[in-house]
C-alpha cells in the first residue's frame, strides 16, 4: 500500500508544482503531460491489485483522487490559454476575458497596487507574491515605461493623443511592442501631437543598449529615440533625435523630455482548477488515512 500511495503523492506533487510555478513552459510540453497520464494509468493498475488484496476502499479513493489531480494537471497543460501580460497606462482599465473582469492600474508608479474587478468582488495584486483568481494566477512584472513631456519651440506645453484619433493618451508610453533597430530588439510606442500635426514614434534604449551607441553619451542612463512624422506619416526635417532620460531635446520642431520609470504590468498564467485540486487532495488524504488505519489493524500489509 505504501509504495502505491507514494506514487499517487508524486502525481499530486507534479500538479501542485503547476500551482506554485504557474506559467512555466514545461507544463505545456506533450511529453510532460504524457508522463503524467502514464503515471496515473500505472497507479490505476496498482489500485486494482490492492483492491483484490483487501484494500478496496482506500484503493478506490486513492485512484479517484489521483485521477482527478492528473486530469486537472493535464487539462491545464494542454487546454488552458497561454500565459499573457496585461499592460495598462496609469489610471487605465484593461478588460481581460480570461479573468472575466478588468484590471485597474494605479495613477502613479508610486502606488504599487493593481486592482482586479470582477462580478464577485475585487482583489488587489501587489508587488509581492501571487494572487489567484479562479483558474489563474496573477502577479506583477515591473517594466520600463516612458513619461513624455512635449512642448513647442516657445516652450508651450502640447497635449499628446492616440496616433489614430483625438482621444486623450496618458503621457506615459507603455512601450507595448518591440522594434528591431540596428540588430537590437527594443520597446516601441507611438503618440500624436494634434496641435503640431505630428505623429511621433519612440524607441526605448535601456542603459546597456544606450552605451552601445557611439554617437550618444548617455552616461549610464536610458535614452529614447524619437522619430517625428507629419499627419501623412511623412518624415519632417530634423525629425530624428535621441533624448537622454530626463533631458529635453529638440526634434522635428518639438521639444521632448522623456522620463523613464518602472511601472507594473500583470502576468496572467493558468493553473489547475482549484475545485478539482481540492477534491483530488481530499480523496487522496482519505485514502491515506484509511490505508494506514487498515494496516495498523491487520498488523501487516498484504503482499500485493
Q: What percentage of the chain reaches a pLDDT higher than 70? A: 93
163: in domain: yes
Beta-carbon neighbour count of residue 304 at 10 Å? 15
Q: Which one, of 151, 203, 201, 191, lies nearest residue 167 by Cα?
A: 191
- Calculate the CA 86 to chain-centre distance: 7
Residue 119 clears pLDDT 90, i.e. is over it = no
| pLDDT score of 213 | 84
54: in domain: yes
Packing angle of the helix pair 2-20, 56-78 (nearest 10 deg): 30
Res. 168 pLDDT band, cuts 50 70 90 = low
Res. 302 pLDDT band, cuts 50 70 90 = very low
Q: What is the mean pLDDT of residues 271-290?
A: 90
| pLDDT score of 129 | 84
Using the structure block, give the residue that is written with the C-alpha cell 486494482: 48
Residue 245 clears pLDDT 90, i.e. is over it = yes
Residue 167 clears pLDDT 90, i.e. is over it = no
| 249 & 182 share domain | yes
Domain span at 126: 84-142+265-270
Q: How many domains does the chain have?
A: 3
| pLDDT score of 86 | 96
303: in domain: no
Q: What is the mean pLDDT of residues 257-268?
A: 96
The residue with greater pLDDT, 17 or 120, is: 17
In angstroms, the first-to-last Cα distance of the chain is 8
116: in domain: yes
| pLDDT score of 32 | 94
| 69 & 125 share domain | no
304: in domain: no
| pLDDT score of 100 | 92
Beta-carbon neighbour count of residue 98 at 10 Å? 16
201: in domain: yes
- Give pLDDT tens digits for 185-243: 999 999 999 999 999 999 999 999 998 887 788 788 999 999 999 988 899 999 999 99
Are the beta carbons of 133 and 99 closer than 8 angstroms? yes
Q: What is the mean pLDDT of residues 82-103?
A: 93
| 159 & 101 share domain | no
| 100 & 167 share domain | no
Using the structure block, give the residue that is written with the C-alpha cell 494566477: 137
Using the structure block, give the residue that is written with the C-alpha cell 530626463: 246
Q: Which one, of 77, 81, 59, lies nearest residue 18 by Cα?
A: 77
Q: What is the mean pLDDT of residues 144-163?
A: 91
- Give pLDDT tens digits for 53-63: 777 888 888 88
| 238 & 227 share domain | yes
| 165 & 240 share domain | yes
d(CA 245, CA 259): 5
At 220, phi and psi to the nearest 5? 80, 10
DSSP symbols for 46-77: HHHHHHHTT-HHHHHHHHHHHHHHHHHHHHHH
| 59 & 27 share domain | yes
Lookup: cell for 159: 497635449
Amino acid at each position: 500500500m505504501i509504495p502505491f500511495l507514494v506514487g499517487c503523492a508524486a502525481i499530486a506533487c507534479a500538479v501542485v508544482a503547476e500551482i506554485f510555478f504557474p506559467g512555466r513552459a514545461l507544463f505545456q510540453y506533450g511529453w510532460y503531460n504524457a508522463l503524467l497520464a502514464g503515471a496515473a494509468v500505472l497507479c490505476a493498475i496498482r489500485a486494482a491489485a490492492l483492491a483484490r488484496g483487501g484494500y478496496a476502499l482506500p484503493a478506490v479513493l486513492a485512484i479517484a483522487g489521483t485521477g482527478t489531480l492528473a486530469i486537472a494537471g493535464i487539462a491545464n497543460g494542454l487546454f488552458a490559454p497561454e500565459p499573457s501580460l496585461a499592460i495598462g497606462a496609469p489610471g487605465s482599465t484593461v478588460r481581460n476575458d480570461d479573468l472575466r473582469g478588468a484590471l485597474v492600474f494605479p495613477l502613479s508608479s508610486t502606488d504599487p497596487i493593481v486592482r482586479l474587478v470582477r462580478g464577485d468582488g475585487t482583489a488587489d495584486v501587489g508587488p509581492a507574491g501571487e494572487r489567484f483568481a479562479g483558474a489563474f494566477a496573477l502577479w506583477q512584472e515591473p517594466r520600463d515605461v516612458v513619461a513624455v513631456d512635449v512642448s513647442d519651440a516657445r516652450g508651450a506645453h502640447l497635449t499628446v493623443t492616440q496616433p489614430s484619433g483625438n482621444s486623450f493618451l496618458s503621457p506615459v508610453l507603455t512601450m507595448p511592442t518591440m522594434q528591431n533597430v540596428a540588430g537590437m530588439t527594443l520597446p516601441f510606442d507611438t503618440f500624436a501631437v494634434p496641435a503640431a500635426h505630428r505623429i511621433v514614434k519612440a524607441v526605448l534604449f535601456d542603459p546597456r543598449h544606450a552605451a552601445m551607441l557611439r554617437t550618444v553619451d548617455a552616461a549610464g542612463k536610458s535614452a529614447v529615440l524619437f522619430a517625428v512624422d507629419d499627419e501623412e506619416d511623412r518624415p519632417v526635417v530634423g525629425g530624428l533625435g535621441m533624448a537622454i532620460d530626463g533631458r529635453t531635446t529638440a526634434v522635428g520642431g518639438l521639444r521632448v523630455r522623456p522620463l523613464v520609470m518602472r511601472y507594473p504590468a500583470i502576468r496572467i498564467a493558468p493553473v489547475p482548477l482549484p475545485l478539482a485540486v481540492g477534491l483530488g487532495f481530499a480523496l487522496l488524504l482519505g485514502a491515506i488515512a484509511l490505508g494506514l488505519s487498515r494496516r495498523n489493524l491487520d498488523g501487516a500489509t498484504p503482499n500485493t
